[in-house]
Amino acid sequence: MIIFDWDGVFNGGFKGDGVYSPFSEVDSMGLNMLRFGYQMLTGNILLAGIISGMDNKNTELFVRREHLDFKCLGFKDKNEGFKIVLRDFDVKPDEVAFVYDDILDLTVAEQCGLRFQVRHDAAPMFANYVKNNHLADYVTAQVGERHAVREVMELLLAAIDKYDATVDSRTHFDSQYAEYIGKRNVIVAKEYLASRRY
């Protein structure tokens, strides 16, 4: 399973009246290729979802468009959402890769098998804290609004030795990719809201 925080990971984390935390096609393609590569490797589409302290329309749009498996929205205590997802999908914490950026994410990061911290140039002491407490296996070269998610997705695809195969298959929209996208596109995300009990 791969889990993402939203604000500061898929974007710069800016908020305000009329400001809706966006996502990019660049990051979207990276996640799609990783899920496809994982299916090539294992026969199963990689479980994927978002745990966010906020609930915004762009998160909903991304989850629906990319056919992710779950969205946990409004969870100020992200560990609460994390526990629900692990239980419902029967996944152990060390089977999770987590892409995160800030303090609110650390209770989840400390439990996961792989941790990817999206860097913030303005947080040198936080970066030092994460390093000293071994809370990241990799810190991105890019910041959130500069496609840090794509960076992580490409590295993971390379790590499972499926980068070239996924690019070749997607480029030609061959039968293998068509089969994957057909299966992916019937996935409907489970929705978890912090205001409810699970």
Q: What pLDDT is recorded for position 8?
A: 92
Q: What pLDDT is recorded for position 54?
A: 80
Q: What pLDDT is recorded for position 62?
A: 95
Whether residue 198 lies inside any domain: the answer is: no
Q: How many domains does the chain have?
A: 1
Cα–Cα nearest to 109, from 186, 18, 3, 12: 3
Cβ distance 73 to 54 under 8 Å?
yes
Residues of the chain with pLDDT under 70: 18-19, 198
Give the whole-angstrom CA distance, residue 101 versus residue 107. 12
Cα–Cα nearest to 3, from 49, 35, 34: 49
Distances (CA, A) of 112 to 2, 16, 37, 56: 10, 31, 21, 25
Containing domain of residue 116, as a range? 2-193
Whether residue 14 lies inside any domain: the answer is: yes
Phi/psi for 76 (5° steps) reads -70, -35
State the pTM of this model: 0.94
CATH number for the domain spanning 185: value is 3.40.50.1000
